[in-house]
Chains A and B, each alone.
Chain A
């Protein structure tokens, strides 16, 4: 087993584990009894999507997925804050 194959196998295993984490977060998003649960599940989904994209970029050895991960990070934070603000005040732009 060469070193390159070793680290590629590790990346595939990690991608499967992170995909399982995304499935668990999706389950909480669909089932969540309250609205903040769904917001939290969306936030977790964006965070795990960043990890999955970076692992995929490492696996394919391309830098394209960095921009996608950065945009998901920024939009995930913005959407979390805006959704929480909506739950808090029933209004976004006051």
Chain B
């Protein structure tokens, strides 16, 4: 005799496992890193959330020890997954900074930038020129 709650639990578990597998497949099959970043951070997190909710329901309805402890892991994962994805994207961006394409109209963009470092070099030269003079005056 298969009860309704067992069917619902099985569907929840299979749904979660399907999304975990989709995340891992996306990690393997997609072409660039920034496409690959989407698959595990979203699909796998959803799948693990479904599995953990299924575990909570299993322990509440069918087990002997009904405590919703797995919700701790669910909440922790749902908080930390975007943070770790953001950190990985920043790390990849810092590595790929040289190979990124130039801005459209980058010549005018260069003109509109902050003042180039030549005046500062002139100041440094002036300081170097000043130093012997002050030494002479002493």
Contact = CB atoms under 8 A, between A and B. Distances in A.
A21 to B, nearest CB: 4
B interface, size bucket: 35 or more
Contacts, number: 164
With a 10 A CB-CB cut-off, give which of A35, A47, A51 has the most chain B CB atoms: A51
A1 interface: yes
Interface string B11-51: 00110111011011101100001001100110011011001
A20 interface: yes
B23 A21 contact: yes
A92 interface: no
Contacts of B59: 58
Interface in B34-89: 36-37, 40-41, 44-45, 47-48, 51-52, 54-55, 58-59, 62-65, 69-70, 72-73, 76-77, 80-81, 83-84, 87-88
Contacts of B28: 24, 27-28
